[in-house]
Amino acid sequence: MLLTARYVLPIAAPHIENGAVLVRDDKIVEIGDIEHLRTLHPDEPVQDFGLAALLPGFIDLHTHLEYTALRGLVDDLPYSRWKYQLLQKERLFDAQDWEDSALLGALESLQSGITTVADVTETGASGRAAQVAGLRGIIYREVATMEKPLVAGVMADAEADIEEWRRVSDGGRLTIGIAPHAPYSCHPELFRAVADYAADGTPVSLHLAGSREEYQFVKYGSSMLATDVRDVFDADAPLWLPTGVSPVRYVLQWGILDAPNVVAVHCTQVDDSDIEVLANHNIAVAHCPRCNAKLGMGITPVLKMLEKGIRVGLGTDSPAASNSMDVFEEMRIGLLVQRAVLGEQHFMVARQFVKMATLDAARALGIEDRVGSLEPGKQADIIAVDLSKSHQIPTHHPYSTLVHTANQENVLWTMIDGRVVYDAREWPTLDHERIFARAEQMRMKLRV
Ligand SMILES: [Zn+2]
């Protein structure tokens, strides 16, 4: 099939005006000028998107699909108080709720042009939803305990789950990893155990240096994370003592940064020496600008990280934090916040953020040989984004039009592995009416 549009953004190469992408089966075969490809392949069926952009599907470097139905529940509290409230509310969910909440997240991903998720899940619902939806993903099994005697049991349960998830999931599109939740919810021995387990290259994701409260918790033993929130995770854990070091230095001591395939999430509370540590250990960073701003967590020093060669991609985080899985919002807010704080000396541009949402995120996950850009031989993970609406025309520069004017509603069509998984408010892999009805039921349940 020949896909055509006003703009084709291969990402790894300059954009093509009036471009075309030839897809056969699950692969991209050729990219070029419309007329040229039409002449070369006169019998190929054509799907034209008009005034739109064709680009690689977004890679959401950090999310929790199973938390989607907790969207909008706690909106006006800073990180630690938000987390505390959420921990209370999520107890109201039963196993089926987690499944359907994850399906809602998978549905929203496809509609938002997200073709790969790096998802942290405790129940496994995210992986099952990703599989049903046809998403590509790294599904990280979350582990957490602050009690040393529980570490071995927590790891044994996680290893059994990971083995089972690997057995039942589509190995072509889904990879299973492990996620020690955060410095305030994991005993140091748990970091050590995960590091040993993941020494074989098993993907690791951890929330790290996310909030000021976490920084205060690790370094000074203070903040609400050391009291109320910790009591929810492990009321019986011994008193937490100050470590005197930053969160990055703290987890470094416990070996987790030595694992070969690590994505650190947030990293707002890092100084130059922390950035040096992350760079020296080849740690990738999931930047979630909207969540960081909304929960008052801080600002990730993206430019400094890029200058040190750190792989940085964008994550939406869960809708329970950021309200929607809208990568356009992440690109826009991410870019504007960096411009606001860096000033004219270090002016970042729209193209950098589109790259962070695609090819750079693929590099962060080590899957750039298969996805992240439109190149012959890569998997056909492609989206079409409408650029014809009144808030978008005229279009002069496709990258800035995407970043400054588009939103998730402008995604027209989503393809993963050559299969159309979203097309004009239709989701061929999902029962959207049932999922929307279940979301309303979950809303009623959460009202108590
Ligand atoms: Zn998260």
CA distance 143 to 198: 13
The whole-model pTM stands at 0.97
126 CB-side CA count, 13 A: 30
Q: Kindly write down the DSSP assignment for every residue of 156-216, as one continuous string.
A: HHHHHHHHHHHHHS-TTTEEEEEEE--TTTB-HHHHHHHHHHGGGS--EEEEES--HHHHH
Fold (topology level) of 2-56+381-432:
Urease, subunit C; domain 1 (2.30.40)
1 C-alpha to center of ligand 1: Å?
38
The model's pLDDT over 34-73, given as tens digits with 9 standing for 90+, comes to 999 999 999 999 999 999 999 999 999 999 999 999 999 9
**% residues pLDDT > 90 (the chain):** 93
pLDDT tens sequence across 226-250: 888 877 777 777 778 899 999 999 9
Q: In the chain, where are the structural domains located?
A: 2-56+381-432, 63-365
Distance CA 204, CA 249 (A): 18
- CATH superfamily membership of 63-365: Metal-dependent hydrolases (3.20.20.140)
CA of 291 to the centre of ligand 1 (A): 9
- Give pLDDT, residue 235: 77
- Ligand 1: centre distance to CA 321 (Å): 8
What is the pLDDT at residue 57? Answer: 98
What residues form DSSP beta bridges with 284? 263
Please tell me the predicted confidence (pLDDT) of residue 240. Answer: 83
Three-state secondary structure call for residue 151: helix
Question: How many whole angstroms from 54 Cα to the centroid of ligand 1?
Answer: 29
The residue among 448 and 193 whose pLDDT is bigger is: 193
Q: How far is the CA of 443 from the centre of ligand 1 (A)?
A: 21
Burial tier of 344 (Cβ tally within 10 Å: 0-12, 13-18, 19+): exposed
CA of 277 to the centre of ligand 1 (A): 22
